[in-house]
Chains A and B, each alone.
Chain A
C-alpha cells in the first residue's frame, strides 16, 4: 500500500498512467515497493515531459519535475548508493538521447536496475 504522502499533489497521475506503470514494474520484479514507485515516477515524468517526443506545456513539466524529485527522495530514503547512482545515470542517458534528437525507452534500463536490487 503506497503511503498517501507519496502521491500528494500528483494523485491524478495514478489514473492516467502512473498506476499502470507501477503495476508493470511490480509484476516484473521483486524490488521493494518504494523502488518500484520510484521507477514508475521516473517513467511517468519523462512521459509527461514528452522527453524526446515534443514539448510539454509548463504545467505538466512542473508536475513531471515533482515526480523526478519525489523519485529522488524515495531513493535517498530507501535505496542503496549503487541503485541511486544507476537511476540517475538512466535519466542522464534518456536526456542525452533527447538532446541529440532521439528517444531512449527508459523502462528496460529501470527494470534491469530493479531486478539487480531485488
Chain B
C-alpha cells in the first residue's frame, strides 16, 4: 500500500519545536500500515524535520545553537530588499531562518513495525519552526504492508467521504476538515469488526453504520471543542475556532441528525435504540463533567460516571450495534458491549496517564490546565503525603507556574503507576470477555484483542 496525506499544524513562536510523535502514531494506526515506512517532507523553506529528545532544556540548547550558527541580528543578503528582485508586499526578514534550515533537514523517514513507529525510548519527531509563528504543512507518504483490518479502514474512509460529499458546503467543509485531520476511528472500526459476529454480515450496511457512528462522534467533538474553548484538534483548527461558535453549533446538530437518520434508514430498531441510548448517556455525562470541574479533581466514583458516559458509552454501543446489525445472539451482544465498555474506560485512563508523560506530543499537564477529569490527579489528591498540596493547588484555576509542581506531585505519589495498572487490568478484563465467546469470533478475534491491547500499549 501507498497512502499520501498532509499533516497541518500551527507553530507557536519564531523558533518552535513541535512534537509530532503522537499525531504520527495516530496516523499510522489509522492507516492500517503494519510494516513499512513513513516519509515526512516539509513543504516550507523555513521549516525543518528532526528526531531528538523532547526535553525542554535541551530544546532551549538547540535554539541557542541555531542562534549562534545563524544569528538573527547579522545582515543577510536575502534581507536586502533594496537589491533583491521579486519582493512581495509582506516579504519577511528571514535570511537567518533559511540559513538555519540549511543546517537541518527538510525531510525524514521513519520505520514502522507491527503498526507502530520504530522509535527509541527518548526519540521524538519534531517539526522545527524557524520563522514562526505560522500555519505549516508536512507531506506524508506511508508505504508498506497493510494489516488485515486495512480493508475495514478503507471502507470506513470511503463511506465517510461519500457521506460528506453530498452535504451543503458551509456544513460539510468544516466536518471534512475534522474527519481528514486524523483520529483513531476506533468506534467505526469496532462496528465493522463486530458486524462480522452474526449470521447476517453485510459489508455495505456495516459501512454505513460505521460512518454514521463516526459522524455522531465527531458531532459531539464539534460541540465539545466550543464548550472547552479548544482552538485545535488533531492539528487542525476546530470548527468553533475557524468558523465561529454559531457555525459549530449548526455543524454539530447537522451531523448528530444525519448520523441518526442514516442509522434509522438501516431499518434495525434495536440498532437505532442502542446508539440513541449511548447519545443520551454522553450528553448526561457532559453535563456532569462540566459540574465536576467546580469541585476539581473530584473522586473516582464521579470520574467513572463521567468516563462511562463520555467515552465508553459510544465505544460499547459501537460493539453492540455492529453485532445487532449482523443478527448476533443476545449473549454475544452483551459480551461485546461489556468488552467495548472496558476498553473505552481503559483508553481514557491511558490518555490520562499519557498526559503526565514527557512524550505525549501535548504540553505537559494539559489536563490540569483544562480542568479535565483525570484519574492520576484524583489518586494524587487522595495520597497521604502529596494529597493536601495537590488539592490546594487545584482548588482554583491553576497558575501556569504551579503546573510543573502538580505534575511532580502526581508522579512522586505513585498515582501514575496506579492508574496505569488499573487501565491494564481493564484491558485484560476486556480480552477475557472475548474468551467467553470462543468460536463465535472467527476472523475478528485477533483484531479485537489487538484493539484492547492498543488501549494500554502507550503506557511505559
Nearest B residue to A53, CB-CB: B246
In the complex, which residues of chain A have a beta carbon less than 8 angstroms from the beta carbon of B277? 73, 76
Q: How far is the CA of A89 from the CA of B260 in the complex (A)?
A: 10
User: What are 19 pairs between A and B in contact, CB < 8 Å?
Assistant: A9-B284, A49-B249, A55-B244, A56-B249, A58-B226, A61-B223, A68-B253, A68-B256, A69-B280, A75-B276, A76-B264, A81-B264, A85-B264, A85-B265, A88-B261, A92-B254, A96-B171, A96-B250, A98-B249
**Contact present for B226 and A65 (CB under 8 Å):** no
Report A18-69 residues with CB < 8 Å from chain B CB.
46, 49-52, 54-56, 58-59, 61-63, 65-66, 68-69
Indicate if B283 sits at the interface (CB-CB under 8 A): yes
Select which of A81, A85, A99 is within 8 A of B247 by beta carbon: A99
| Cβ distance B372 to chain A, nearest Cβ, rounded Å | 14
Nearest A residue to B272, CB-CB: A76
Contact A84 B282, CB 8 Å, known A49-B249, A99-B168: no
Indicate if B385 sits at the interface (CB-CB under 8 A): no
Nearest A residue to B254, CB-CB: A95
Nearest A residue to B251, CB-CB: A99
Indicate if A15 sits at the interface (CB-CB under 8 A): no
Q: How far is the CA of A32 from the CA of B178 in the complex (A)?
A: 39
In the complex, which residues of chain B have a beta carbon less than 8 angstroms from the beta carbon of A70? 280, 283
Q: How far is the CA of A68 from the CA of B280 in the complex (A)?
A: 9
In the complex, which residues of chain A have a beta carbon less than 8 angstroms from the beta carbon of B290? 58-59, 62
Residues of A in contact with B (beta carbons under 8 Å apart):
9, 46, 49-52, 54-56, 58-59, 61-63, 65-66, 68-70, 72-73, 75-77, 81, 84-85, 88-89, 91-92, 94-96, 98-100
Interface majority SS (helix, strand, loop, mixed), chain B: helix
Interface majority SS (helix, strand, loop, mixed), chain A: helix
**Contact present for A54 and B258 (CB under 8 Å):** no
Nearest A residue to B282, CB-CB: A69
In the complex, which residues of chain A have a beta carbon less than 8 angstroms from the beta carbon of B252? 65
Q: What would 18 more interface pairs be, CB under 8 Å, given A73-B273, A98-B253?
A: A46-B253, A50-B249, A51-B249, A61-B227, A62-B286, A65-B220, A65-B252, A70-B280, A72-B256, A73-B280, A76-B264, A76-B269, A76-B275, A76-B276, A91-B253, A91-B257, A95-B254, A96-B171
**Contact present for A81 and B250 (CB under 8 Å):** no
In the complex, which residues of chain A have a beta carbon less than 8 angstroms from the beta carbon of B267? 81
In the complex, which residues of chain B have a beta carbon less than 8 angstroms from the beta carbon of A52? 250
**Contact present for B227 and A58 (CB under 8 Å):** yes
Nearest B residue to A70, CB-CB: B280
**Contact present for A73 and B279 (CB under 8 Å):** yes
Indicate if B132 sits at the interface (CB-CB under 8 A): no
Nearest B residue to A49, CB-CB: B249
Contact A92 B261, CB 8 Å, known A49-B249, A68-B256: yes
Q: How far is the CA of A77 from the CA of B269 in the complex (A)?
A: 8
In the complex, which residues of chain B have a beta carbon less than 8 angstroms from the beta carbon of A49? 249, 253
In the complex, which residues of chain A have a beta carbon less than 8 angstroms from the beta carbon of B254? 91-92, 95-96, 99
**Contact present for A95 and B279 (CB under 8 Å):** no
| Cβ distance B265 to chain A, nearest Cβ, rounded Å | 6
How many chain-B residues does the 8 Å CB contact rule pick out? Answer: 39
| Cβ distance A10 to chain B, nearest Cβ, rounded Å | 9
Indicate if B170 sits at the interface (CB-CB under 8 A): yes
**Contact present for B287 and A63 (CB under 8 Å):** yes
Q: How far is the CA of A92 from the CA of B259 in the complex (A)?
A: 10
Indicate if B245 sits at the interface (CB-CB under 8 A): yes
Report B285-304 residues with CB < 8 Å from chain A CB.
286-287, 290
Q: How far is the CA of A37 from the CA of B170 in the complex (A)?
A: 30
**Contact present for A76 and B273 (CB under 8 Å):** yes
**Contact present for B264 and A66 (CB under 8 Å):** no
Nearest A residue to B280, CB-CB: A69
**Contact present for B279 and A72 (CB under 8 Å):** yes
In the complex, which residues of chain A have a beta carbon less than 8 angstroms from the beta carbon of B273? 73, 76-77
Q: How far is the CA of A75 from the CA of B272 in the complex (A)?
A: 9
In the complex, which residues of chain A have a beta carbon less than 8 angstroms from the beta carbon of B287? 9, 59, 62-63, 66
Select which of B171, B247, B279 is within 8 A of A69 by beta carbon: B279
Q: How far is the CA of A61 from the CA of B168 in the complex (A)?
A: 23
Q: How far is the CA of A9 from the CA of B309 in the complex (A)?
A: 15
Q: How far is the CA of A94 from the CA of B257 in the complex (A)?
A: 10
Q: How far is the CA of A73 from the CA of B279 in the complex (A)?
A: 8
**Contact present for A55 and B245 (CB under 8 Å):** yes
In the complex, which residues of chain A have a beta carbon less than 8 angstroms from the beta carbon of B223? 61-62, 65
Q: How far is the CA of A100 from the CA of B172 in the complex (A)?
A: 12
**Contact present for A51 and B250 (CB under 8 Å):** yes
In the complex, which residues of chain B have a beta carbon less than 8 angstroms from the beta carbon of A68? 253, 256-257, 283
Nearest B residue to A86, CB-CB: B261
In the complex, which residues of chain B have a beta carbon less than 8 angstroms from the beta carbon of A100? 168, 170
Select which of A76, A89, A95 is within 8 A of B250 by beta carbon: A95
Nearest B residue to A54, CB-CB: B246
| Cβ distance B163 to chain A, nearest Cβ, rounded Å | 12
**Contact present for A99 and B261 (CB under 8 Å):** no
Q: How far is the CA of A96 from the CA of B253 in the complex (A)?
A: 9
**Contact present for A62 and B253 (CB under 8 Å):** no
**Contact present for A66 and B261 (CB under 8 Å):** no
Q: Which of B220, B256, B277, B282 has the most CB of A within 10 A?
A: B256
